[in-house]
Amino acid sequence: MIYQVENLTVRVNDNGGKPLVNNVSFSIGSGEIVALVGASGSGKTTTALAGLGLLADGLIVASGRVLFEGDDLLKIPPVQLRRFRGRRIAVVFQEPLYAFDPLFTIGAQIDEVLEVHFGAHAAERKDKALALLKRCGIEEAERVYRSYPHQLSGGLRQRAMIAQALAGEPKLIIADEPTSSIDVTLQAKVLELFQQLRKELNLSILLITHDLGLVRHLADRVVVLRQGEIVEQGRVGHVLTAPRHVYTQQLMAAGG
């Protein structure tokens, strides 16, 4: 297992109330795609970000472990954890306009990741960046490289975001609603890309989504969250063909 969340509980600091994430455990194998599904507010993002030190102010991990290749991320000091992010675990957010800095070109931002992680010469890094953009299905890589985030369409920005995520050669990508801000045709392409990357690079992916159609197509296993607790988890074929929990059935009826 490359990633293991064990008995994770997240609370609002100084709040004796119900935890936002309660005793959650699941794991992701090498090259595996695991989907985290559940209604809005069920704790998907909180679960995914807890191990990366990216929880919002006021939220604390009350108990549990988040193991990446056996190391507990919750015990790693913030400076070191920053090195983990990007290099070994990359996060792809829902709206890449916010993930990119508006003041720098896409190229400069990918270059920054390459420089931090690999050093090397500027020209080599540029070749590497262009190759990454192409790998993510961007034909006009040179133009995208020179563009500012706002100059790109949503679909191109999303792909550039994935290219940036791949720049650190991560082993795990955490993708939080990676396709909900782009149109359906492009969604399909981004998903194909994920599948391809998994196959070629043996990437593991934690896919957070509302879209059960997507889960069915892409994921190996699925974890169903409801009000911060896991109601069921298992192979996609099992859970989505014969959901044991009425909540999963409701999620499916609501648009899966």
Q: What's the gap between Cα 165 and its chain centre?
A: 9
Query: Which residue, 180 or 196, is less far from Mg ion as judged by CB?
Result: 180
Looking at 4, 22, 42, 45, which residue binds Mg ion (CB under 5 A)? 45
Q: Return the amino acid letter for 104.
A: F
Count of Cβ atoms closer than 10 Å to residue 231 Cβ: 18
Give residues 9-38 in contact with ligand ATP (rule: CB under 6 A): 12, 20, 38
Six-digit token string for 49? 């970000």
51 binds ligand ATP, rule: CB under 6 A = no
Residues 6 or more apart whose CB falls under 8 angstroms from that of 26 comprise 4, 5, 34, 36, 223, 230, 233
- Across the beta sheet with 89-92, the strand order is 89-92, 172-176, 204-208, 33-37, 221-226, 229-235
Minimum gap (Å) between residue 66 Cβ and Mg ion: 17
- Identity of the amino acid at 129: A
Distance CA 115, CA 164 (A): 12
CB of 78 closer than 8 Å to CB of 72:
no
Nearer residue to ligand ATP within complex by CB, 20 or 224: 20
Q: Contact 35/223 with Cβ under 8 angstroms?
A: yes
Q: Can residue 137 be called a binding residue for ligand ATP (CB under 6 A)?
A: no
Which of these segments, 43-51, 125-133, 156-164, 233-241, binds ligand ATP (CB under 6 A)? 43-51
59 binds ligand ATP (CB under 6 A): yes
Q: Note whether 178 binds ligand ATP by CB under 6 A.
A: no
Contact status: 209 vs Mg ion (CB under 5 A): no
- Integer CA distances (angstroms), 214 to 4, 117, 169, in order: 23, 32, 24
**209 lies in the site for ligand ATP, by CB under 6 A:** no
Residue 107, binding choice from ligand ATP, Mg ion, none, Cβ under 5 to 8 Å by partner class: none
Closest to ligand ATP by CB, 109 vs 179, is 179
- The minimum distance between CB 20 and ligand ATP, in angstroms, equals 4
Q: Where do contacts with ligand ATP occur on this chain (CB under 6 A)?
A: 12, 20, 38, 40-46, 56, 58-59
Q: Where do contacts with Mg ion occur on this chain (CB under 5 A)?
A: 44-45
